[in-house]
Amino acid sequence: MVIGKSPSLPGPASPTGPAETARPADATGPADAAARARSLHARPDAYLGLPAVLVAPYAPGSGRAARREALRPVYAAVAAELGEPTLYGASAAGPSVRWHTGAHVVLLAGGPQGATLSVHTASDLYGREYSAVESGSIGWRAEDPHGFDTLPYLWLLHRGPERGWPAFRWDGHHTAASWEHLESALALLLDSWMEQLPVQVPGEWASFVVGCARDWPRHLRVGCGQDGGQLSLMVDHRTTAEEPGFEDSMRERGWQVRERGWWRAEFADEDPEAARSAARLLVADVRARGSVRPDELVAWELTVNDRGRLWLPGIGMPVN
């Protein structure tokens, strides 16, 4: 589907005139966003260095649902114009979706006022992002801010063929310096999933498994599904000896239901504290099972609908 270009949308700046440093007009609405994306994709060199254009604005203080619905039609229009992204993903500020065009990247990114579109030289963009994540300001010391909210992306999903693998990316994982930092990192990641998955990959689910070095036979599964729009946590207690007060202690920790040896808790999309509550339960559970530091945990089976490759730089723990 090709959406016509709005006549009000500015073209590339003159290489000699003062317009080259002027901020382009916003391109709000799906049609303008698609037209801008088409221009950036077709003639990236003409737009390099220009400020990002706001394409999906939302009011200050907007909640998860309002931001999601502001982005949804704009993202659909851009994806219809450019095709499947090279990389799906998001930062704490919103989407971080990339369409690679050889040496360039068209970037749909979140910001304080909403989502923006811009184009970058791939090596420059990923060089800046690599410098940011390797700066030592993330997950370094417990007495400092956790820094996970400054990552250029909390998660990335690649679904293209291996031969289309992006040449520039940072796919490591920072380990949180404290339990408080881990709780913050997980809350950011899970909140991002609840906001972004219904827009970027409608109808799909994401999950990962967490194991504890000091209680290895049992593992905890974290899932974010779109059936009812909720987070779910499950922990395996099929072989756990039930001492007196065991069930009460599990419920006090935050677990809700036990089925066939698995304890489960669910957190609804309508609850603005859903991600924070889920992160708090995960941390409380692994600590109750003897873990003393976040680096004793490990995550694996990172997946979105069992298709593609998923990175979680913002997960806050080692990844296998």
- Buried-exposed string 257-294: b where 16+ CB fall within 10 A, e elsewhere: eeeeeebebbbebeeeebbbbbbbbbbbbbbeeebeeb
Q: What are phi and psi of 231, to 5 degrees?
A: -90, 150
Residue in 100, 70, 68, 72 with CA at minimum distance from that of residue 84: 100
What pLDDT score does 241 carry? 65
**Alpha helices, DSSP H only, in 176-314?**
179-200, 246-253, 274-288
What pLDDT score does 168 carry? 59
What pLDDT score does 246 carry? 84
Low-confidence ranges of the chain (pLDDT < 50): 1-21
What pLDDT score does 23 carry? 55
What pLDDT score does 34 carry? 97
What pLDDT score does 8 carry? 37
